[in-house]
């Protein structure tokens, strides 16, 4: 048992260590091009650090640490509230428009028939369309409606993860650290501009995690929690199928470690019934949703034209292994043309599979290794969501006057070369600070996996993250936007590691 745990954690540890290596080389971590204010702060830090190292104020550190420990929940809610205010200020400040798939769907909500061919090819986006369509019928089609919905989704996902980790570890303090790390991805970064499945799916992922944890810790309502988890899982799957990789990890972990499941429930039979309840409810819910989408009259969707799963593996193999600055494992017109030349799904599968095999054979082992490392770097070399690819699928449409309040806010977040009509880019200072935090997150996750490599709880989370990272290596990705769906798991590992590291250092 412990050997299997160590094997799982060794794989995750290796991948996160590679991610740390790439992160230290990331273009977001350049010392040059920062704001004068940040340079001044860095300069001030040097003599302060010298004095603290030579004359460490131990008593002061102890008092600060004790204050944080005693008031960590108040501190959490204060930071959470400030981040919500920041989101609302920024959604009012940023004047942006969406691009790519989000733009295709959101601009056609008043005329759904225009989406017939698109949804037939990309049937995986059907549920996202219907969710957006019904939102538009209630609140209208203005982009701010979907930005506000994204904010609500992101903030709910933060609360759900806080509740889940509190129950999972039995510690509110650990839960607060975990959740603040998750808020780094979802609230500190203005990713509400990404009004797409990446943000919309997160509350359902974290709600599913919460309900499963509750089911295994509640003797009375466990089956009700699993029914609700099945429905939540179905919604997450319909929005973004890859987001439920962690459930595969749950099943694998159950097979290799039944003991870990038996601490709170009575017997293997109960565990099997709980997992069957989750599976059956999820299956029935997904069938019902697909049945509705097949029979509705809002837009005609012909699923026989949809891209097969091998299409996304083919996209995931695209790119030049010798050019780090090019795109890797992402959408491209060449692979799209191969798919569109075929007349049906069966023909597409055959044509794209042949191309995938040919491409892999042509590269050979070493070139393939270089390619997938370049792709992994694109996915993991920064915590900045949306880096390496379409900048959160957002275009700046208008800049505020430089001397206005909104202009000063934009100066903090926008790149100094930002112009209307260009893709949204963050300032070098903002990127640098985000990367500093990301390095701490990665290091803390690595520490947690190494220090607690024989722990049931850590191994389950580690396996979930490992599955996500491997999935993105194989299928379409090539940017940090795709890692967003797995940030709950890296946040749990990093939060647990950071809390225990700080606690031990204090002791």
pLDDT tens for each residue of 285-314? 999 999 999 999 999 999 888 999 999 999
Q: Name the band, by pLDDT with cuts 50, 70 and 90, for residue 342.
A: confident
DSSP code for 273: H
Kindly tell me if the per-residue pLDDT of 390 is higher than 70: no
145 within a domain of the structure (yes/no): yes
- The pTM assigned to this predicted structure is 0.95
pLDDT of 501:
92
Angle at Cα 213 formed by Cα 209 and Cα 214, nearest 5°? 115
96 within a domain of the structure (yes/no): yes
Report the alpha-carbon distance of residue 15 to residue 9 in Å, rounded.
10
461 within a domain of the structure (yes/no): yes
Token pair of 490 as six digits: 């890296």
265 within a domain of the structure (yes/no): yes
The contacts of residue 337 (CB under 8 Å, 6+ apart) are none
193 within a domain of the structure (yes/no): yes
348 within a domain of the structure (yes/no): no
Token pair of 15 as six digits: 């991948």
339 within a domain of the structure (yes/no): no
Residue 405 Cα to chain centre, angstroms: 31
pLDDT of 483:
94
pLDDT of 59:
84
DSSP code for 423: B
pLDDT of 362:
94
pLDDT of 260:
61
Q: At what angle do helices 143-169 and 72-93 cross, to 10 degrees?
A: 170
Report the alpha-carbon distance of residue 296 to residue 290 in Å, rounded.
10
Find the mean pLDDT for residues 449-455: 93
Kindly tell me if the per-residue pLDDT of 432 is higher than 90: yes
Find the mean pLDDT for residues 324-331: 86
pLDDT of 258:
67
**C-alpha distances in Å from residue 42, one per residue of 38, 422, 435:** 6, 31, 15
353 within a domain of the structure (yes/no): no
Domains contained in the chain, number: 1
Please name which of 376, 275, 356, 258 lies closest in space to residue 314, comparing C-alpha atoms: 356
What is the extent of the structural domain holding 479? 2-30+71-301+382-506
């Amino acid at each position: 048992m412990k050997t299997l745990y160590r094997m799982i954690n060794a794989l995750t540890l290796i991948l996160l260590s590679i991610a740390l290596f790439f992160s230290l080389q990331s273009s977001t971590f350049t010392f040059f091009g920062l704001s004068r204010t940040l340079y001044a702060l860095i300069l001030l830090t040097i003599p302060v650090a010298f004095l603290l190292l030579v004359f460490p104020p131990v008593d002061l550190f102890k008092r600060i640490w004790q204050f944080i420990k005693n008031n960590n929940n108040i501190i959490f809610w204060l930071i959470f509230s400030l981040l919500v205010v920041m989101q609302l200020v920024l959604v009012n400040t940023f004047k942006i428009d969406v691009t790519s798939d989000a733009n295709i769907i959101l601009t056609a909500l008043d005329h759904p028939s225009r989406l017939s061919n698109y949804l037939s090819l990309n049937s995986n986006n059907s549920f996202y369309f219907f969710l957006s369509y019904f939102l538009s019928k209630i609140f209208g089609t203005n982009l701010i409606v979907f930005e506000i919905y994204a904010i609500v989704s992101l903030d709910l996902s933060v609360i759900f993860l806080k509740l889940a980790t509190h129950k999972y570890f039995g510690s509110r303090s650990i839960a607060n650290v975990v959740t603040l790390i998750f808020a780094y991805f979802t609230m500190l970064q203005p990713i509400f501009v990404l009004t797409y499945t990446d943000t919309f799916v997160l509350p359902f992922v974290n709600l599913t995690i919460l309900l499963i944890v509750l089911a295994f810790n509640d003797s009375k309502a466990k089956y009700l929690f699993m029914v609700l988890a099945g429905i939540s899982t179905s919604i997450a799957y319909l929005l973004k199928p890859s987001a439920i990789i962690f459930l595969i990890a749950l099943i694998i972990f159950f097979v290799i470690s039944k003991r870990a499941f038996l601490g709170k429930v009575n017997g293997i039979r109960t565990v099997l019934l709980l997992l069957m309840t989750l599976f059956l409810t999820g299956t029935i819910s997904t069938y019902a949703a697909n049945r509705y989408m097949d029979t509705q009259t809002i837009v005609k969707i012909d699923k026989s034209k949809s891209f097969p799963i091998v299409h996304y593996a083919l996209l995931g193999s695209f790119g030049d292994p010798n050019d780090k600055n090019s795109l890797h494992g992402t959408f491209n017109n060449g692979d799209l043309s191969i798919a569109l030349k075929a007349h049906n799904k069966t023909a597409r599968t055959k044509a794209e599979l042949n191309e995938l095999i040919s491409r892999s054979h042509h590269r050979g082992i070493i070139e393939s290794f270089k390619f997938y490392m370049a792709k992994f770097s694109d996915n993991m070399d920064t915590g900045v969501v949306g880096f390496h690819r379409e900048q959160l699928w957002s275009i700046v449409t208008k800049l505020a006057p430089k001397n206005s309040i909104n202009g000063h806010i934009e100066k903090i977040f926008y790149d100094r070369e930002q112009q209307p009509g260009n893709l949204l880019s963050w300032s070098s200072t903002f990127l640098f600070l985000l990367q500093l935090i990301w390095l701490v997150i990665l290091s803390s996750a690595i520490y947690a996996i190494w220090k607690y490599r024989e722990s049931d709880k850590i191994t389950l989370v580690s396996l979930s993250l490992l599955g996500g990272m491997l999935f993105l290596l194989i299928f379409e990705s090539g940017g940090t936007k795709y890692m967003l769906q797995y940030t709950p798991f890296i946040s749990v590992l990093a939060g647990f590691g950071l809390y225990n590291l700080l606690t031990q250092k204090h002791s």
